[in-house]
Amino acid sequence: MFTGSYSYSSISRMILRPASLANLLVALLRESLKGVSYRGAASPDRLHVGGRKVLILGSGFGGTYVLRHLVPELNLNENIETTMVSDENFFLFSPLLHEVATGRIESRHIAYPIRRLHWRDRFNFIQASVENIDLSGHKVMTTMGPLNFDYLVLALGSVTDIPRSDPAVTNIFTLKTLHDSVLIRNHIIGVFEQASIERKPEQQRQLLTFTVCGAGYTGVQLVTELRDFIYRTLLRFYRRIDPDNIRIILVEAEPKIAADLHMKLGAYVMKQLQHMGIEVRLKSRVTRVREGHVEINGGEIMPTSTLIWVAGLAANPRIAELDTEKDSIGRVLVNKYLELPGFPGVYALGDCAHFEDPMSGQPIPPRAHTAVRQARVVARNILAEIRGKDKKP
Ligand SMILES: Cc1cc2nc3c(=O)[nH]c(=O)nc-3n(C[C@H](O)[C@H](O)[C@H](O)COP(=O)(O)OP(=O)(O)OC[C@H]3O[C@@H](n4cnc5c(N)ncnc54)[C@H](O)[C@@H]3O)c2cc1C
Q: Tell me the pLDDT tens digit for each residue of 94-110.
A: 999 999 999 999 999 99
Residue 392 lies in a domain: no
User: Which of residues 28 and 2 earns the better pLDDT score?
Assistant: 28
**Given pLDDT bands bounded at 50, 70 and 90, which one contains residue 170?**
confident
Q: List phi, psi (to 5°) of 84.
A: -110, 135
Residues 22-43 have a mean pLDDT of 49
360 in a structural domain = yes
CA 187–ligand 1 middle distance (angstroms): 23
Q: What is the 158 CA–ligand 1 centroid distance (Å)?
A: 7
Label each residue of the chain as H, E or C. Answer: CCCCCCCHHHHHHHHCCHHHHHHHHHHHHHHHHCCCCCCCCCCHHHCCCCCEEEEEECCCHHHHHHHHHHHHHCCHHHCEEEEEEECCCEEECHHHHHHHHCCCCCHHHHEEEHHHCCCHHHCEEEECCEEEEECCCCEEEECCEEEECCEEEECCCEEECCCCCCCCCCCEEECCCHHHHHHHHHHHHHHHHHHHHCCCHHHHHHHCEEEEECCCHHHHHHHHHHHHHHHHHHHHHCCCCCHHHCEEEEECCCCCCCCCCCHHHHHHHHHHHHHCCCEEECCCCEEEEECCEEEECCCEEEECCEEEECCCEEECHHHHCCCCCECCCCCEECCCCCECCCCCCEEECHHHEECECCCCCCECCCCHHHHHHHHHHHHHHHHHHHCCCCCCC
Residue 326 lies in a domain: yes
**What's the mean pLDDT when you consider all of the chain?**
89
Pair 285, 337 in one domain? no
For the CA atoms of 133, 316, 356, 71, the dihedral, rounded to the nearest 10 degrees, stands at 60
> Average pLDDT for residues 314-323, to the nearest whole number?
97
Return d(Cα 210, Cα 212) in angstroms, integer. 7
Q: Is residue 10 part of a domain?
A: no
Instruction: Clarify whether residues 301 and 182 are in a common domain.
Output: yes
Q: Which atom of ligand 1 is nearest to the CA of 369?
A: 11
| Res 30 pLDDT > 80 | no
pLDDT value at position 14?
A: 52
Query: For residue 345, what is the domain's CATH number?
Result: 3.50.50.100
Query: What is the rounded CA–CA span in Å between residue 293 and residue 300?
Result: 10
Task: Clarify whether residues 370 and 325 are in a common domain.
Answer: yes
Tell which of 251, 280, 311 closes a domain: 311
**What pLDDT is attached to residue 39?**
42
Q: Tell which atom from ligand 1 comes closest to the C-alpha of 310.
A: 1
CA distances (Å), origin 321, targets 164, 314, 327, 334: 19, 12, 12, 16
Query: Mean per-residue pLDDT for 64-78?
Result: 94
- Tell me which of 67, 83, 86 to substitute to probe ligand 1's pocket, judged by most ligand atoms within 8 Å of the beta carbon: 86
pLDDT band for position 168 (50/70/90)? low
What does the radius of gyration of the chain's CA atoms come to, in whole angstroms?
A: 26
Contact criterion met (CB below 8 Å) for 369 and 384 = no
Q: Which atom of ligand 1 is nearest to the CA of 371?
A: 23
pLDDT score, position 41: 43
The answer to the question of residue 246 being in a domain is yes
Tell me whether residue 2 is in a domain: no
Choose between 119 and 270: higher pLDDT.
270
Residue 13 lies inside a defined structural domain of this protein: no
Query: Mind listing the pLDDT tens digit for each residue in 178-220?
Result: 999 999 999 999 999 999 999 999 999 999 999 999 999 999 9
- Are 73 and 389 spatial neighbours (Cβ–Cβ below 8 Å)? no
pLDDT at 8 (0 to 100): 47
Q: Is the pLDDT of residue 91 over 90?
A: yes
Residue 307 sits in the same domain as residue 176: yes
**103 and 181 housed in the same domain:** no
CA atoms within 13 A on the CB side of 230: 27
- Tell me which of 172-176, 227-231, 289-293, 304-308 is least confident: 289-293
The answer, yes or no, to whether residue 225 has pLDDT greater than 90, is yes
Q: Are residues 321 and 307 in the same domain?
A: no
- What is the mean pLDDT of the segment spanning 315-329? 97
When pLDDT is cut at 50, 70 and 90, the band that residue 358 belongs to is: confident
Q: Which residues line ligand 1 (CB under 6 A)?
A: 58-63, 85-88, 94-95, 97-98, 129-130, 155-157, 175-176, 217-218, 316, 318, 350-352, 366-369, 371
Q: How many angstroms separate the alpha carbon of residue 181 from the centre of ligand 1? A: 14
Q: Are residues 145 and 196 in the same domain?
A: no
Number of domains in the chain: 2
- 314-327 mean pLDDT: 97
Query: Which amino acid appears at position 134 of this protein?
Result: D
Is 319 inside a domain boundary?
yes
CA distance 55 to 292: 45
On the question of pLDDT at 34 being above 80, the answer is no
**Nearest atom of ligand 1 to the alpha carbon of 130:** 42
Domain boundary (271, 296, 311) is at 311
For 153-166, the pLDDT digits (tens) are 999 999 998 876 66
Alpha carbon of 92 to ligand 1 centroid (Å) = 8
- The CATH number of the domain holding residue 185 is 3.50.50.60
Ligand 1 centre to CA of 249 (Å) is 25
pLDDT in tens, 363-391: 999 999 999 999 999 999 999 999 999 99
* pLDDT in the model for residue 236: 96
**pLDDT-above-70 percentage for the chain:** 86
Instruction: Write down the pTM of the prediction.
Output: 0.87
Tell which of 278, 311, 344 closes a domain: 311
- Residue numbers of the domain that contains 280: 172-311
Same domain, 306 and 319: no
The phi, psi pair for 326, rounded to 5°, reads -135, 165
Q: Choose one of 156, 318, 322 to mutate for the ligand 1 pocket test, by most ligand atoms within 8 angstroms of C-beta.
A: 156
Same domain, 329 and 347: yes
Integer Cα distance of 358 and 337 in angstroms: 12
Statement to judge: residues 324 and 291 lie in one domain? no
CA-wise closest residue to 118 among 160, 68, 158: 68
Q: Is the dihedral of CA 157, 68, 382, 148 positive or negative?
A: positive
Nearest CA to ligand 1 atom 8: 95
> What separation in Å is there between the alpha carbon of 203 and the centre of ligand 1?
37
**Which pLDDT score is estimated for 46?**
47
Q: How far is the CA of 157 from the centre of ligand 1 (A)?
A: 5
Same domain, 122 and 151: yes
pLDDT over 60 (residue 299): yes
Residues 307 and 318 in one domain: no
Instruction: Using the atom order of ligand 1, give the atom closest to the CA of residue 222.
Output: 1
Nearest CA to ligand 1 atom 29: 60
